């Protein structure tokens, strides 16, 4: 149950939410969807609506872990030629615009490797990013990336899917920041139901680590949010948020109408959180 802790903004966010007695709301968005400037404004709106941490998705042409909603978001963002370095630059722009909640960069491994692990970690830290999630980097092969991330004060956050207790223990033994529990096997997407063993799985992960645990992949409504808030420290909402962005894309792309689109996102978050 050893854990690595560097006391960055992620640690503080979870500590603060624990003191408030509530789960941390952790939305995901695809950077550059529907436009780079809209992303900054969406981040501001999410923070205003009660987000405690945001996952910044790097658009990718072959998003193996993502369902159709986030795949379409990547397609829209890639029309703007968004790269991982541009995602980091947009995070820095959001910081300059006053967004203060922690950022976690969510990227497949190829953009990190092609750009350079050292360069990505250095620029991410300089931009005020606090951690990374790399869904296709298995823990057996993450030592170099983890070491470089730690050197720059960044958490490399593991994804843990339902698996054996022994494998869960191996994965979380090297974890830092928090442990991201995948609610079900398969890709991201909004779900009506979760598998029968989900509560036992979450209990197993909690017993294996001292770090906060967050759950994601499928949380899409207030009932689900409330249910998992009772057992998890953080709730990741991805496809449901990205779906709201997609529905409001035409408004968000227009500077004149953007506020209307942002208001739709705020209203969705308030309804989701039941606040």
Which residue in the list 33, 47, 66, 246 is annotated as catalytic? 66
Question: In angstroms, what CA-CA distances link 30 with 107, 169, 229?
Answer: 10, 31, 24
Measured between its terminal Cα atoms, the distance across the chain in Å is: 35
Residue that the structure tokens 């903004």 belong to = 9
Cα–chain center distance at 217: 10
Examine the residue annotation and report whether 55 is marked as an active-site residue of this protein.
yes
Q: Residues for the chain: how many in total?
A: 275
Q: Report DSSP letters for 56-86, one per residue.
A: EEPP-SS-TT--HHHHHHHHHHHTTT--HHH
Examine the residue annotation and report whether 196 is marked as an active-site residue of this protein.
no
What does the block give as tokens for 89? 């630059």
Residue that the structure tokens 């991805």 belong to = 238
Q: How many helices (H) and strands (E) does the chain have?
A: 13, 9
Q: Do the beta carbons of residue 73 and residue 57 sit within 8 Å? A: yes
CA distance 180 to 209: 12
Which residue in the list 11, 41, 55, 233 is annotated as catalytic? 55
Contacts of 139 (CB under 8 A, 6+ apart): 158, 170, 171, 174
Residue that the structure tokens 């947009």 belong to = 90
Catalytic residues: 55, 66
């Amino acid at each position: 149950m050893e854990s690595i802790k560097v006391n960055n903004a992620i640690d503080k966010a979870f500590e603060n939410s624990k003191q408030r007695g509530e789960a941390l709301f952790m939305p995901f968005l695809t950077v550059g969807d529907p436009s780079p400037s809209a992303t900054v404004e969406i981040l501001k709106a999410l923070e205003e609506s009660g987000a405690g941490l945001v996952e910044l998705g790097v658009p990718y042409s072959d998003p193996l872990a993502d369902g159709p909603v986030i795949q379409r978001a990547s397609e829209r963002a890639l029309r703007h030629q968004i790269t991982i370095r541009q995602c980091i630059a947009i995070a820095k722009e959001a910081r300059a615009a006053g967004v203060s909640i922690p950022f976690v960069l969510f990227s497949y491994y190829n953009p990190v490797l092609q750009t350079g692990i050292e360069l990505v970690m250095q620029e991410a830290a300089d931009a005020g990013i606090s951690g990374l999630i790399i869904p296709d980097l298995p823990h057996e092969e993450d030592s170099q990336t983890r070491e470089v991330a730690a050197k720059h004060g960044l958490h490399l956050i593991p994804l843990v899917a339902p698996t054996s207790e022994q494998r869960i223990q191996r994965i979380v033994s090297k974890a830092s920041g928090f442990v991201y529990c995948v609610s079900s096997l398969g890709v991201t997407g909004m779900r009506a139901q979760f598998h029968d063993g989900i509560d036992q799985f979450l209990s197993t992960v909690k017993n294996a680590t001292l770090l906060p645990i967050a759950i994601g992949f499928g949380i899409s409504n207030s009932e689900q949010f409330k249910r998992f808030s009772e057992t998890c420290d953080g709730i990741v909402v991805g496809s449901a948020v990205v779906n709201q962005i997609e529905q409001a894309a035409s408004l968000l792309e227009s500077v004149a109408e953007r506020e209307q689109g942002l208001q739709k996102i705020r209203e969705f978050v308030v309804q989701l959180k039941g606040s």
